[in-house]
Structure 1
Amino acid sequence: MVESFATTSLLGNLPLYGGYCSKDVSGKRRAIDIIKFPPMEFRFRKLVSSSSLPRLKAHRQLIKCQAMELTKEAYREEGQSYQDFRYQIDTGVDRMPGLWPPPNKADNPGLQNPLLRQERMGCGWLAAIFEWDGVLIEDNPDLEKQAWLALSEEEGKSPPPAFILRRIEGMKNEQAISEVLCWSRDPVQLKRMAGRKEEIYQALQGGIYSFRPGSQEFVNILMHYKIPIALVSTRPRKNLETAIGAVGIEEVFNVVVAAEDVYRGKPDPEMFVYAAQLLQYIPERCIVFGNSNQTVEAAHDARMKCVAVASKHPMYELGAADLVVKRLDELSVVDLKNLADIESAEFEPELEMELEEEDDPHPTVDVDDGFW
């Protein structure tokens, strides 16, 4: 700072400042392209101005001059040119082209349709798929475990251990009973036990539903930007509709996928793929909101991005998700647009490899040395 500032401002040179406005004798403002500040000098380690201006005004001019010189030094170090810039007092975001405004990943200048380009820059090119328990609504995981233990006692089965209960988390009841617990494979018995398990859970839950902190505000933001919303759950449709009506958000969801609509639950991606089909969106444009690693696995298998909500698992256990938050209102629409951006190299690796092979300027030719 001493070299850049002192050599230009203190050792006899008159610093210049561009784009400044001053008042003439009549009081009218007029633009002055170049203003020369009076010379200054050091006297007993103090900076003294020889002009008749007030000290406050001289101090302000000195600060402006110092900022200009430091900016020039920064451009010199980066190897950039600063002669083309007109420094203005009231602007500060456009002094360095290329840094502002930030690039919009949703924009594609190559599109010839202006309406399609505007829609892509908006929010009409992505959809949100929510789980119900633990994401939008407060959930008590212990109630699910108690329901399974009570059902095993009623059916005369051995109580499932803790690791089995963690494995069947998020599965359909019929799928868990037949494939993991192996209690029965009869469709009639599967339907009966699955229904009884839901009755036990609803009795333990008490029919009281409440939003998780920040979830209602986030849903309101999505509705404001007209982003399609789908609800996916392994609960029966009747219980799910009762819960939606209890919290008063019947008109929020464009699509509701319940247990009766799919054959398998998580970690199978069938629920999310079916929700995307009903929304008429490609999977790459859908973002899944869940709270378990089973949801993350199912979303990635469906070629969707996943936002994990740390409601019943710590954040470090959900590192496989694309984003991990504690509350949904920590997210913004810009975060969702960046997640739904598919114009990146990860979606076309084969094309890049072909281009590299075609653009090889020095092809190799095998020569048989024995011929010569």
Structure 2
Amino acid sequence: MERLSTGWFGVIMEFEGVVVETSEETHRQAWLQVAEEFSFRKPLGQSLRRIKGVRDEVVVSRIFGWTHNPSVSRQVAQRKGEIYESIMGGRQLAAMLETRPFLETLKRYSIPVALATPLSESKVKEGLQRHNLAQYFDAVVTAEDSGSAEVEFYYAFAASKIQRPPIRCVVVGESNTSVEAAHELGMKCVVVTGTNPVFDFTGADLVVRNLSQLSFMNMKRLFAEESLVESKLNPLEDPARNQNADDVDDEDDYADDDDEGFQPMRGAAAFGGRW
């Protein structure tokens, strides 16, 4: 695989808050109602902020600490799902306006894309088909694929399905849970904040408001330090020749990328600019 050529890395995207709009408030209402039904203590705001991207059974047992009985956890999670659907009243989540153009860009550069989510396979595939987005994903990892309670499992399994090592993957998520799980595996992580404050995500490699601010060049820059890898793996090759080849590679592959507007925001430096 050519270094930093098209298809050199892979992208792993979350579903809610990235591909489709978030239903965070509806989830919150469902959790509060199920807590009342089962006479559990109501979750606090801090706990509710940690549940993004986590399977409902894991939320019950590990984050809220309501029970450590697996069968009870499944029962509570199932009831929460029923309440959620009831509150939604048949309304379906709309696709983010920026989703299709972003996926078209990845497809144009032949970058493999996986969808990783703790939601059920039927719910996710129904949403993808409704919005005509299924053709953009090379792999879909859902709750049915999970052999683990950890978010890292979804990302690792997604990486294997698109045949990219973790260090060559970029996770596009919406929470600090995404950041922690991605970094645990050695992956890069871009957070799509939406209306949330950007300073909540200082650990992310890149922070954007929406996918329209995430260009191909910005993702390429996340791997800037990879320029050191090839020379270490091929010590007998001429460094000057490698440098020249790299320059041509970059010019040919990315000359048509407009890279307009947004620039990467990393760490504390992310917050001294436009927001």
When normalised by structure 1's length, the TM-score is 0.57
Structure 2 residue matching 1:148: 3-state secondary structure? helix
Bigger drift between 272-281 and 332-341 goes to 332-341
Supply the AA of the counterpart residue of 1:217.
Answer: P
Select the structure of larger CA radius of gyration: 1
- Structure 1 spans left out of the alignment, 5+ residues: 1-115, 350-372
Structure number with the higher helix fraction is: 2
- Structure 2 spans left out of the alignment, 5+ residues: 233-275
Q: Deviations over 1:150-170 (max 9, x none)?
A: 111222223222222223333
Q: 1:236 aligned to 2:236?
A: no
Q: How does 1:1-372 map to 2 (within 5 A)?
A: 116-117=1-2, 120=3, 122-205=5-88, 206-262=90-146, 263-266=148-151, 269-341=152-224, 343-344=226-227
Task: Give the Cα separation in 2 of the matches to 1:344 and 1:169.
Answer: 34
The Cα RMSD (Å) is 2.3
Structure 1 residue matching 2:137: 3-state secondary structure? coil
Q: How many residues align?
A: 230
Structure 2 residue matching 1:128: 3-state secondary structure? strand
Shift of 1:276: 0.7
Shift of 1:192: 2.0
Shift of 1:348: 11
Structure 1 residue matching 2:136: 3-state secondary structure? coil
Q: Which runs of 4+ in 1 moved over 3 A?
A: 344-349
Structure 2 residue matching 1:163: 3-state secondary structure? helix
Structure number with the higher strand fraction is: 1
Shift of 1:292: 1.1
Task: Give the Cα separation in 2 of the matches to 1:297 and 1:345.
Answer: 25
| Matched-pair identity in % | 33
Check 1:342–1:144 CA distance in 2 against 1; reply closer, same or farther (3 A cut): same
Higher relative contact order (Cα pairs below 8 Å, separated by 6+ residues): 2
Shift of 1:144: 1.1
Shift of 1:343: 2.3
Structure 1 residue matching 2:135: 3-state secondary structure? coil
Supply the AA of the counterpart residue of 2:168.
Answer: R
Supply the AA of the counterpart residue of 1:145.
Answer: R
User: Does the 8 Å CA contact 1:127/1:287 hold for their aligned counterparts?
Assistant: yes
Supply the AA of the counterpart residue of 1:173.
Answer: D
